[in-house]
Amino acid sequence: MTPVGAVVPDDGILAIDVGGTKLAAAWVDRDGEVHDRRQVPTEPSGPGAGEELWTTLVGLLDAVCAGRSPAAVGVGCGGPMQWPAGLVSPLNLPAWRSFPLRSRLSERYPGRVVRLVNDAIAMAVGEHWRGAGRDAHGLLGIVVSTGVGGGLVLDGRIVAGPTGNAGHIGHVVVDPSGPACACGGLGCLEAIARGPAVVQWALDQGWKPTGVADGSALLDAARAGAEVAVAAFARAGEALGVAIASAAHLLELDVVAVGGGLTAAGDLLLGPARSAFARHARMDFVRDCRIVPAALGNDAGLVGAAALVAAGDRYWPAGAD
């Protein structure tokens, strides 16, 4: 995304995205342009490997900085976490349990502001700052992938909740007698719309993949017109639309940006989501709410992490430092 010959300002932001399968980092300028993006896969290492993972991250950051000193550091990280303290326990990274990521980064970049949020909140901030939800009053960002995450930006500020966990659209109930969710609840959006659940539902309905049974194969089948595959994405989309209608009524949203791997399905997913939303979101004040694909793709989390520190205190809640 760096135009040829572009000058990277000295006051760039070091942006970090800690996901379940990779560590990513980039140098992001004050305009939100992503430079020098690098990433490394994370190993499914067990408890005790926390320092090793930290060393891997430090190596990645040094490579991105290439001798430059960042003006500030922004981080999106998989939850759960203790926020704003920034003790992180990413579900898919057992190596880190209550790992003091924020304070470690503060030690490594002394005198620099370091801010850290849930990765889905970072995605929402990125889409608000430079993506599909610029200037939205009420933005919900949703990531539909192995799980279903979400983040909220209302009136230009993140809604983090007292421990940083607000935005969990994946655990909005869309069908109280629906399938069991990994959280222990019933009928959560995530139980229906997460990628593995969509694939499993298709298999249960008789889908016979020729190769490996995954989201990508299911999407191929749906594009080829396989009814069960189309229905599987539609069912997930409808659940998404119901949850979005609930959130829109509660928060008077105007933009919902949907990203994550499953959105490769495009209108196979978002079409049914929009139909279900139209069926359930009937109050005047939500009718114009738009459900759109996220615009920044894999960069949204990095751009949002940078925005937490690059945009002054625009997104950051007062008193959370």
Cis? peptide before 110, omega within 30° of 0: no
- Span interacting with its own copies, options 197-205, 215-223, 276-284, 298-306, rule CB under 8 A: 276-284
Q: How far is the CB of 146 from its own copies (least distance, A)?
A: 17
Judge residue 67's burial from the number of C-beta atoms within 10 Å of its C-beta, 0-12 exposed, 13-18 middle, 19 or more buried: exposed
CB of 173 to its own copies, least distance (A): 5
| Distant-in-sequence, close-in-space partners of 62: CB < 8 Å, separation ≥ 6 | none
Min. distance of Cβ 269 from its own copies in angstroms?
17
Tell me the C-alpha distance between 261 and 215, whole Å: 8
Residues in contact with its own copies, shown as a per-residue x/- string from 75 to 104 under the rule CB under 8 A: -----x------------------------
Q: How far is CA 220 from the centre of its chain?
A: 24
Instruction: Say whether residue 124 binds its own copies (CB under 8 A).
Output: no
User: Is 163 an interacting residue with respect to its own copies (CB under 8 A)?
Assistant: yes
Only one of the segments 22-30, 109-117, 226-234, 238-246 lies at the binding site for its own copies (rule: CB under 8 A); that segment is 238-246
DSSP string of 111-134, one letter each residue = TSEEEEEEHHHHHHHHHHHHSTTT
Using CB under 8 A, pick the residue from 9, 161, 209, 261 that binds its own copies: 161
Name the pairing type of β-strands 72-77 and 113-118.
Answer: parallel
**Interacting residue with its own copies among 74, 167, 215, 272 (CB under 8 A):** 167
Whichever of 1 and 283 has its CB closer to its own copies, that residue is: 283
Give the interface segment with its own copies, choosing from 47-55, 99-107, 244-252, 295-303 (CB under 8 A).
244-252
233 SS3 class: helix
Residue 167 DSSP label: T
Mapped onto helix, strand or coil, the DSSP state of residue 183 is coil
Binding residues for its own copies (CB under 8 A): 80, 137-138, 150, 152, 154-155, 159-163, 165-176, 181, 183-188, 238, 242-243, 245-247, 249-252, 254, 276, 279-285, 317
